Amino acid sequence: MWIPIKFVLSFLVWLQQSLGPLPILYRNGIGPSSIPKFIHDIRHPWIEENRYSLERIDAKEALCNSTSILRTSLPPIPDDLFKCLNIDNNRAGSGSRLGWHNADARLREILDCPAALQTSEHLYVYIYVHNSKYDNLWEPLTPPETLPNLFADLFIAMPRLANIKWLSPSTAEASSSAFNMTFSQRQLSLPTVTNLTVGANMEALVLSAPNLTSLETADGYHWTSSEMEASGPWQRLIKAAGTREHLKSFSMVAAWSPELMESVSLALPHLETLIIGGSVGPRWSSSYPTENFKNVLSAAKNITQLLHLAVPPVFELGLGFDGGADCGNAYFGLSGTKYGRSVTRESLFYTEKAGSIVMDVIPWLKSFSIGSHRVEHRDIGQDGVVSWPWKGRLKEALLEQWPRYAGGDPEIGDGRDKTEDPDGPVFWSFAEDEIMLADDWTPHSRQDVNLQDLDLGMYELDMEDIE
């Protein structure tokens, strides 16, 4: 009988992970550590600094028992040693761990460590389930029957737990439904949790936190139209969030539409902070209606207590700006530097445009941000006009982001790498500077960009090469 190699590897990994620690061998440098693996996973510098001393004693007893006499043989243990715990097999150094097995083992270790339970305030959960055809290992999508209950036991045993980041599993309902069902059946209550970051299908955690003040959806989830329907996971999450009367901050990554924003505003009219992640319109569509951004914001007007708003960068707002070339080659060399300035100039124009829309629709905001550009209340005049930091110093702002090119780009061919005149134009000519540095400049198309001597890696494109 032929057995797929990934099943054999998975069994061997499971067997290796199931072996208990052999501290005597480790002290001789040939065995696993006597320090519980969940403590290694914290990656606190104190552990590494005192690793040798810990391996010479019963490390678990010393670290997990706050009254242990063994602590007298160690330097003072920092108060924040267990502040942030994680159950994660998806980061560097832990990728060979099977997701479910790693979670089960780490949960049992933590539950057997009173000092960690009593002092931890943050829990990060990322269980990568090896189920893809591209994985070298394999495990089922459904968690072991005991695992959801172990998580519930852990939550209940952590009296200071305030922040949970549950990033995965979530997107596969075969994984998440088992946790949701157990949490609901046990009527899990997390009264100390005030901040949650969750993926799709994890609304049970939201419903378990009566004092929740901040809710954030995890990045990296693939959106489809079905997920925006009333029965979709994100609509369920919005509905669950609407039952949390103390919720003041909501952050969501989505393909935003006026209808989706209306769902948020109806469920969460008491919000003070709203963070719109993802996009408000197709980035590459020049035919997409640019008023969608304004319509989305208009649907948020029911959130009358809203004080702080964050929206994506302007190339994600459907305003007609695509963000410039994605390929890094376009920014190489002297011509690439000038091209980068033209992209930044256009970005600043659309940032101002987006800011005007924000203030026109929601004028009572105390602060807002567009991508990385943040506007505080002091930056907004009585007439609602924003005083942007580049106003009156546009040339200086562009040169700060794109300094004069000094040469030396290894991607530019020998003999063609040109340095920039420190007294030369910011763009391709002084005449173009006069136009593009004017406060009333308006972009029309990419044809505004002078294509002469554009360097694309090792290739030079001259105007005579263009038909």
pLDDT tens, position by position, 35-72 = 999 999 999 999 999 999 999 999 999 999 999 999 99
The pLDDT of residue 166 is above 80: yes
Q: How confident is the model at residue 200 (pLDDT cuts 50, 70, 90)?
A: confident
pLDDT tens, position by position, 212-241 = 999 998 876 555 555 666 667 888 899 999
CA distances (Å), origin 47, targets 37, 43, 97: 12, 7, 22
Task: Please indicate whether residue 30 or residue 206 has the higher confidence score (pLDDT).
Answer: 206
Q: What angle do CA 188, 189, 194 make, to 5 degrees?
A: 130
pTM of the model: 0.84
Mean pLDDT of 68-85: 97
CB 384 within 8 A of CB 394: no
pLDDT tens, position by position, 377-416 = 999 998 889 999 999 999 999 999 999 999 877 777 656 6
Q: What are the tokens at 213?
A: 């003040």
Which amino acid belongs to residue 396?
Answer: E
User: Given this model, what pLDDT does residue 18 score?
Assistant: 53
Q: Tell me whether residue 302 is exposed, middle or buried, using C-beta atoms within 10 angstroms of its C-beta: 0 to 12, 13 to 18, 19 or more.
A: middle
User: Given this model, what pLDDT does residue 245 score?
Assistant: 95
Tracing tokens 């045993």 back to the chain, one arrives at 157
User: Given this model, what pLDDT does residue 383 score?
Assistant: 87
CA distance 273 to 213: 10
pLDDT tens, position by position, 108-163 = 999 999 999 999 999 999 998 877 666 667 788 889 999 999 999 999 999 999 99
pLDDT tens, position by position, 277-315 = 988 866 555 555 678 899 999 999 889 999 999 999 999
Q: How confident is the model at residue 363 (pLDDT cuts 50, 70, 90)?
A: very high
User: Given this model, what pLDDT does residue 415 score?
Assistant: 60
pLDDT tens, position by position, 416-436 = 678 999 999 999 999 999 999
Q: How confident is the model at residue 176 (pLDDT cuts 50, 70, 90)?
A: confident
The pLDDT of residue 174 is above 80: no
Q: Where are the domains of the chain?
A: 5-374
User: Given this model, what pLDDT does residue 22 score?
Assistant: 42
Q: How confident is the model at residue 169 (pLDDT cuts 50, 70, 90)?
A: confident
Cα torsion at 185, 219, 224, 260 (round to 10°)? 80
Task: Give me the chain's average pLDDT, please.
Answer: 85
CB 139 within 8 A of CB 7: no
Which amino acid belongs to residue 19?
Answer: L
CA distance 203 to 222: 17
User: DSSP characters for 4-26?
Assistant: -HHHHHHHHHHHHHHSPP-HHHH
